[in-house]
């Protein structure tokens, strides 16, 4: 359980790439994630949730943002000295930029290898998008390797600061480990929901394939 | 009746309807069990067993295909319940009062609860609207008139194959959800802070609803599983409904209502289907049970015992009392999951360990993938989560949360030593008698 399986790696890669691609194509995040999910899993949802607002509620303790960290990552991409200081003395850089405790924790997770991997991954993402899009116009930023690299650096550092595993997520909750440590709800999709309940009286639902030994 | 309710629990938008369906599903199953036994007894020496005609089955299948929740409620409570009650009353009038005394006693014990259920069902109609399609109801009446026709089916063969797949739990229109991949609701101090206690209970309430929905679908989607399996699933769905009522009561006492925080449906949506398992297959059912009933509910046995002591120590006696009831039921739920997992896997004790390892690994990998996607696309929200997580750690004095293993509860549920070692090796529970005693 503690070792990363190839399954996990491939799931992470596919989900991340699809979601990021969807987002940069202008899809709302929940749509992009839903698309990623549909690709991974057996399709054919027939009933879904009615429309609902998506939000995370707990803004009362702090109101942090990733803006400062993105700015620092952007500067470090073209300022080798700053990058070196981040790798060697993150607390010093945090003090210089007057970062909050959370931001400092994220900065501590940044290292040279992470920068290099993010650069390579971003280049790959841009290449894939350009070849996939062909003549289609992509939204601004969709092929901006630098922007994508920054987001990858900061996002992966946040993940590392919280902890990447399901067990880390369970620890983050501080209680109730049987509950979902990470949300896996299907995004609300009123279209499919309405389609189910608007179908003609007496009509059969379409059967999903492979009903097994029944 | 239990089969229809099992299929529809998750599709009903109103929470009241979910509670009613889960409870009535269990009662229907128990009544059917008594009736089956009685009818089989009446057939002794003539080699008959309880049967239902394909004509009656057609009526029930038609109701299951109701085009809307409102029509389903109308069909069951305005139409089917009165018909069934009428049939029972006819039998009471016409049967031999001495020779058939056990049937009379049985039916008389059913009538008052059936009437209460009917009234409860009628009250639900206002929650989902009232559009009544007279043509569709007319079709039921036509089928009902032909209910005595067709060939006889043994009771166990009456439930039909599922008419649908429902990968996402339906919630009331306008509900707010925690986004997939997020950490959801994160109470910082669920022991002392009133709002965090409300959040903690809110999460629990969602767990009860989603679990009752999943158990009901387990029954509905696998009609050819043994009768005892359906009784177990119905009982668990009903247990979860009772838990939901108790937790909602705790929330109300603290000024919270369901929906005050973002909802989660993860324990249904996230455990409904898995890419390595064919949709509707026995392996899919097995993975649902392994993850929900034997992994997560095993952890609930551990954590509830700890939580009860913690709540008592803090003066939250009402929460502790509710959790004591829930803990007792969790032992049965895990026991049932273990029993039916073993039934599906055969007698090899290593097989369940291996399959659970694979199922849990897949499940956690998928969650971690969703997590990464969420963080990369929602940096600000992820930063917000980190800040709350840090506040929680600080609140605990920098210590990780305690996860003492409840060895007694695990043993009563039927976990083997190897299975206990499996969960402790994953890090979700700590088998430390000293810390368990301290807790």
- Residue A44 inside a domain? The answer is no
Closest residue of chain B to A198, computed from CA coordinates: B67
Kindly state whether residue A136 falls inside one of the protein's structural domains: yes
> Nearest-CA distance from A77 to chain B in Å?
18
At residue A203, the pLDDT reads 30
DSSP β-bridge partners for residue B177: A54, B263
DSSP 8-class letter at B157: G
In a domain, A43, yes or no: no
For helices A112-133 and A80-88, angle between their N-to-C axes, nearest 10 degrees: 130
Give the total residue count for chain A: 214
Residues of chain A with pLDDT under 50: 1-5, 7-62, 188-214
Q: Which of A1, A48, A182 sits opposite B370 (nearest CB)?
A: A182
The shortest CB-CB distance from B183 to any of A5, A167, A169 is to: A169
CA distance A61 to B340: 45
Of B67, B163, B181, the CB nearest to A183: B181
In a domain, residue B293? The reply is: yes
Of residues B21, B258, B31, B14, the one with CA closest to residue B120: B21
Cα B369 to chain centroid distance, Å, stands at 27
Quick one: B14 exposed, middle or buried, by C-beta within 10 A (0-12, 13-18, 19+)? middle
Residues of chain B in contact with residue A72, where contact means CB-CB under 8 angstroms, are none
Query: Final residue of a domain: which of B146, B169, B204?
Result: B146
Instruction: Please answer yes or no on whether B170 and A179 come within 8 Å at the CB atom.
Output: no
**Contact between residue A115 and residue A147 where contact means Cβ atoms under 8 Å apart:** no
Residue A25 lies in a domain: no
Instruction: Check residue B129 and give its pLDDT.
Output: 56
Query: How many structural domains is chain B composed of?
Result: 2
Q: Are residues B113 and B233 in the same domain?
A: no
A157: three-class secondary structure by DSSP: helix
- For residues B73 and B124, the answer to whether their CB atoms sit within 8 Å is yes
> What is the DSSP code string of B201-268?
HHHHHHHHHHHHHHHHHHHHT-TTS-HHHHHHHHHHHHHHHHHHHHHHHHHHHTT--TTSS-B--HHH
Distance (Å) from the alpha carbon of A190 to chain B's nearest alpha carbon = 9
CB contact under 8 A, A208 and B178: no
Both structure tokens of B67: 């085009």
Same domain assignment for residues B200 and B142? no
Size of interface A-B (CB pairs under 8 A): 382
Supply the range of the domain harboring residue B112.
2-146
Q: What is the pTM of this model?
A: 0.84
Give the integer Cα–Cα distance in Å for A153 and A72.
11
User: What 3-state DSSP class applies to B178?
Assistant: coil
Q: How far is CA A83 from CA A69, A75, A119, B78, in A?
A: 13, 8, 14, 72
DSSP conformation class of B146: T
Q: What is the dihedral of CA A84, A87, A92, A96, to 10 degrees?
A: 60
Chain A residues inside the 8 Å CB shell of B184: 56, 180, 182-183
> Which range of residues forms the domain containing residue A125?
65-164
Helix (H), strand (E) at residue B64: helix B54-64
In a domain, B237, yes or no: yes
CA distances from B379 to A65, A151, B427 (A): 7, 8, 28
Alpha helices by DSSP H, chain A:
6-24, 29-40, 67-78, 80-88, 90-96, 101-108, 112-133, 145-162, 166-173, 190-197
**In A81-108, which positions are buried (b, 16+ CB within 10 angstroms) versus exposed (e)?**
ebbeebbeebeebbeeeebbebbbbbbb
Query: What whole-number distance in Å separates Cα of residue B316 and Cα of residue A75?
Result: 51
Tell me if B367 and A212 make a contact (CB, 8 A cut-off): no
Q: Residue A32: which residues within 8 A CB-CB, separation 6 or more?
A: A18, A19, A20, A21, A22, A23, B377
- What pLDDT is attached to residue B138? 87
CATH of the domain at B327: 1.20.1260.10
The answer to whether residues B142 and B198 belong to one domain is no
CA B285 to chain centre: 14
Helix (H) or strand (E) holding B88, with range, is: helix B81-94
B94 and B219 co-located in one domain: no
Quote the CA–CA distance of B305 and A204 in Å, as a whole number.
46
Count H helices and E strands in chain B, helices first: 18, 2
Residue at B369 is within a domain? yes
CB A184 within 8 Å of CB B270: yes
Please state at what angle helix A112-133 crosses helix A6-24, rounded to 10 degrees. Answer: 60
Are residue B235 and residue B298 in the same domain, yes or no? Answer: yes
Residues B18 and B106 in one domain: yes
DSSP string covering A76-133 = HHH-HHHHHHHHH-HHHHHHHTT--HHHHHHHHT--HHHHHHHHHHHHHHHHHHHHHH
Distance in angstroms (rounded) separating the CA atoms of residues A61 and A209: 48
Residues of B in contact with A41 (CB under 8 A): 273-275
The total number of structural domains in chain A stands at: 1
Residue-level pLDDT at B439: 45
Nearest CA in chain A to B164: A205
B180 domain-assigned = no
Instruction: Mark out the alpha helices in B99-226 (DSSP H runs).
Output: 101-128, 134-145, 194-220
- Identify whether B161 is part of a domain: no
Separation of alpha carbons B148 and B136, rounded Å = 20
A17, closest residue in chain B (CA to CA)? B373
Whether residue A89 lies inside any domain: the answer is yes
Residues B131 and B219 in one domain: no
Per-run averaged pLDDT (10 residues), chain B, 439 residues: 95 93 96 88 73 91 91 92 94 93 94 95 74 80 90 87 91 86 90 92 95 97 95 97 98 95 91 93 97 95 93 95 96 96 90 96 92 90 91 85 91 96 92 61
Q: Is residue A37 part of a domain?
A: no
On whether residue A36 sits in a domain, the answer given is no
* Nearest of B21, B20, B49, B54 to residue B36 by alpha carbon: B49
What pLDDT, on a 0 to 100 scale, did the predictor assign at position B91?
94
Which of B388, B400, B399 is closest to B193 using CA atoms? B388
Distance between B385 CA and the closest CA of chain A, angstroms: 8
Q: Which tokens sit at B376?
A: 């990369």
For residue A60, the model assigns a pLDDT of 45
- Distance in Å from the first CA to the final CA of chain A: 33
């Amino acid at each position: 359980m503690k070792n990363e399986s190839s399954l996990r790696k491939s799931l992470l890669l596919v989900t991340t790439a699809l979601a990021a691609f969807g987002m940069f194509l202008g899809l709302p995040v929940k749509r992009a994630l839903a698309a990623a999910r549909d690709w991974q899993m057996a399709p054919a949802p027939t009933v879904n949730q009615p429309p609902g607002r998506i939000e995370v509620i707990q803004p009362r303790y702090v109101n942090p943002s990733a803006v400062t960290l993105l700015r620092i990552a952007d500067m470090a991409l073209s300022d080798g000295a700053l990058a070196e200081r981040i790798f060697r003395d993150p607390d010093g850089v945090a003090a210089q930029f007057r970062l909050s405790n959370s931001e400092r924790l994220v900065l501590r997770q940044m290292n040279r290898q992470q920068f290099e991997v993010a650069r390579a991954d971003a280049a790959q993402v841009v290449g894939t998008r350009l070849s996939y899009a062909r003549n289609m116009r992509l939204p601004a930023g969709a092929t901006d390797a630098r922007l994508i690299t920054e987001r990858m650096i900061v996002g992966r550092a946040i993940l590392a600061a919280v902890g990447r595993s399901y067990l880390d997520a369970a620890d983050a909750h501080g209680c109730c480990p049987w509950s979902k440590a990470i949300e896996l709800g299907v995004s609300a999709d009123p279209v499919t929901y309405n389609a189910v309940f608007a179908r003609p009286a007496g009509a059969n639902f379409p059967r999903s394939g492979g009903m097994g030994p029944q | 009746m239990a089969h229809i309710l099992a299929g529809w629990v998750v599709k009903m938008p109103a929470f009241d309807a979910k509670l009613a369906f889960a409870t009535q599903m269990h009662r229907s199953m128990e009544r059917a069990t008594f009736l089956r036994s009685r009818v089989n007894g009446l057939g002794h020496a003539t080699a008959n067993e309880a049967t239902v005609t394909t004509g009656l089955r057609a009526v029930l299948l038609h109701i299951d295909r109701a085009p809307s929740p409102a029509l389903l409620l109308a069909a069951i409570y305005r139409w089917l319940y009165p018909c069934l009650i009428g049939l029972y009353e006819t039998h009471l009038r016409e049967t031999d009062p001495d020779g058939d005394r056990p049937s009379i006693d049985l039916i008389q014990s059913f009538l008052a609860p059936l009437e209460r259920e009917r009234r409860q069902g009628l009250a639900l109609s206002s929650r989902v609207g009232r559009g009544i399609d007279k043509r569709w109801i007319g079709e039921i009446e036509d089928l009902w008139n032909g209910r005595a026709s067709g060939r006889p089916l043994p009771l166990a063969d009456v439930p039909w194959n599922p008419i649908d797949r429902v990968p996402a739990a339906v919630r009331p229109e306008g509900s707010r959800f925690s986004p997939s991949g997020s950490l959801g609701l994160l109470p910082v101090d669920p022991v002392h802070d009133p709002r965090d206690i409300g959040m903690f209970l809110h999460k629990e309430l969602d767990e009860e609803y989603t679990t009752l929905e999943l158990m009901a679908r387990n029954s509905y989607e696998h009609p050819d599983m043994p009768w005892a399996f359906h009784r177990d699933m119905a009982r668990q769905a009903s247990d979860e409904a009772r838990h939901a009522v108790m937790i909602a009561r705790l929330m109300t006492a603290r000024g919270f209502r369901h929906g005050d925080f973002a909802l989660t449906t993860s324990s249904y949506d996230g455990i409904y289907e898995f890419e390595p398992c064919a949709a509707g297959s026995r392996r899919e059912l097995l993975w649902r049970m392994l993850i929900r009933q034997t992994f997560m509910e095993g952890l609930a046995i551990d954590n509830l015992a700890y939580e009860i002591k913690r709540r008592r120590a803090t003066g939250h006696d009402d929460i502790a009392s509710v959790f004591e009831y829930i803990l007792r039921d969790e032992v049965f739920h895990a026991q049932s999951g273990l029993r039916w997992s073993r039934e599906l896997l055969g007698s090899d004790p290593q097989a369940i360990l291996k399959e659970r390892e694979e199922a849990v690994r897949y499940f956690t990998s998928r969650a971690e993938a969703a997590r990464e996607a969420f963080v990369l696309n929602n940096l600000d929200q992820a930063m917000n989560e980190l800040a709350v997580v840090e506040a929680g750690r600080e609140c605990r004095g920098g210590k990780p949360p305690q996860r003492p293993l409840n060895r007694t509860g695990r043993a009563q549920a039927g976990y083997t030593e190897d299975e206990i070692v499996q969960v402790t090796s994953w890090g979700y529970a700590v088998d430390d008698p000293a810390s368990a005693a301290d807790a």
